[in-house]
Amino acid sequence: MAKTLTQEFVKGLWEEVPPFRLVLGLCPVLAVTTTVENGIGMGIATTFVLVCANTLVSLLRNIIPSRVRIACFILIIATFVTLVELLMQAFAYPLFLALGIFIPLIVVNCVVLGRSEAFASKNRPINAIADGLGIGIGFTLSLGALGAVREVLGNGTFLGMEVFGPSFVPFTFMIEAPGAFVGLGLMLCIMNFIGKK
């Protein structure tokens, strides 16, 4: 119990922010960040799954036999992911169309399983919630930031609004797949640069 709740929460925002510091869960990071909206939508879905899965895993941590723990974690995560998928279809269908296959793929996102295995299964529920929320929000902000860079440069818009006016020629490379790698690389570089000071 060395860390307080606030510390558990805050570490996800900077120190252990998944895509940039842990370099985990890159598949959705690269695939869906073509716009800010998609990035944040994906981030919120992942946050929901993270918090719910962390809570449940932490509550059941003394019941789940350690030899089948991974199976149980995946089962819990898959349940919440399917829940998110159904709810998104019912209430945010356009977002569901935009994110497509990447919603069901949250099941195999290593950030979610990683937090269950490394944190929630060893800590009290309240700490697990703080941890899930922190990591989730960090993940959402990272996706939003990468989405913003790509959308502004690649499409000349931010959340669908024009940024540069009609004379701007979109740098479409940024919203294609290679642009995701370049964008991510540059952001990693900036993060490391700031972190070194």
H/E segment holding residue 51: helix 36-59
Please give the structure tokens belonging to residue 61: 């941590």
Please give the structure tokens belonging to residue 50: 């993270």
Q: Which of 6, 15, 70, 75 binds another protein (CB under 8 A)?
A: 75
Q: Which of 4, 15, 23, 71 binds another protein (CB under 8 A)?
A: 71
Binding mask 14-53 for another protein (x = CB under 8 A): ----------------------------------------
Binding mask 95-134 for another protein (x = CB under 8 A): --x-------------------------------------
Smallest gap from residue 96 Cβ to another protein (A): 8
H/E segment holding residue 75: helix 69-91
78 binds another protein (CB under 8 A): yes
Smallest gap from residue 81 Cβ to another protein (A): 10
Which alpha helices (H) appear in 92-124, and where do they start and end?
93-99, 110-118
CB 138 within 8 A of CB 14: yes
Count of residues of this chain found to bind another protein when the rule CB under 8 A is applied: 22
CB 43 within 8 A of CB 33: no
H/E segment holding residue 157: strand 157-158
Dihedral over Cα of 52, 92, 103, 178: its sign: negative
Q: Which of 44, 53, 64, 175 binds another protein (CB under 8 A)?
A: 64
> Using CB under 8 A as the criterion, which residues of the chain lie in contact with another protein when the complex forms?
60, 63-65, 67-68, 71-72, 75-76, 78-79, 82-83, 86-87, 89-91, 93-94, 97
